[in-house]
Each structure stands twice: as C-alpha cells, then as structure tokens.
Amino acid sequence: MKKTRISENQLTLPFFSAQGARVVPLSIEDRTRIFWSVTGLFLISLMAYIYGINALSRTAALRQNLEREAMTLAADLATLEFQYISLKNDVTIEVAATRGFSEVKKPLYVSRHSEPSSLSLNTLER
C-alpha cells in the first residue's frame, strides 16, 4: 500500500525549488478571484465564438443571395443582348427611311487640327 503525504502547505505554489526555500500560500480569496477570472475569460471567449459563428453564417447567406442575384442579372443581360442583336439585324435602309432618317450627301467631319482661335465647329459654310 502506498503512503499518502499530507502537509499543511498543500495549497501553496512553490516559486523556487521543491526543497521549500520559498512558498507562497493561496488564500481562499485568491482562489475565488482566479476562479472568477478564468470563468469570465471563458464566457468572453464563448461569446466571441458565438458572435463569430453568427457573423460567418450571415455573410455566407448574404453571399449566396448575391450570387443568385448576379446569376439572374447575367441571364437577363444575355436576353437583352440577344434582343439587341436581333433588332440591330432587322434595321434596313427602308426601315430607317420610314422612321425619318435620311442619307447625308456631304458628311461633316471635325478635324483636330482646326484653327486655334475657334472653340466650336462653324456649320454655316455648308
């Protein structure tokens, strides 16, 4: 049978050697302060963990909604581009004439090397 040693300094922390050069006993108040400090740290860590999981799940749901909306907008854009191309291919000279457009006999071009004193194009010389 093994002998168990019981001494009066069982609740002390040795800060030097095990031979007992210096020991500091822990009082009941110190132990309760340590307990509540560790408990408070645990609760703060738990709350930070719950907040992190909540924020992660909210951003994941938001990202999923944004991706779904982006796919819907991309599909709508593809439909509009197809409609634009089909309408563009249907335009002929006859359709333009019925809408009031006419062909210009003498086109007017703007040159980069015009007179330095003029700020606009003079259209009176047509």
Q: What is the DSSP string of 69-95?
A: HHHHHHHHHHHHHHHHHHHHHH--HHH
pLDDT of residue 115: 60
CA-only gyration radius of the chain, Å = 43
Q: pLDDT > 90: what percent of the chain?
A: 43
Tokens 């003029």 correspond to: 118
Q: What is the pLDDT of residues 63-83, one digit of tens each?
A: 999 999 999 999 999 999 999
The H or E element containing residue 49 is helix 28-90
pTM to 2 decimal places:
0.46
pLDDT of residue 30: 83
Q: What is the mean pLDDT of residues 112-121?
A: 61
pLDDT of residue 36: 95
Q: Is 70 exceeded by the pLDDT of residue 15?
A: no
State how far Cα 48 lies from the chain centre: 20
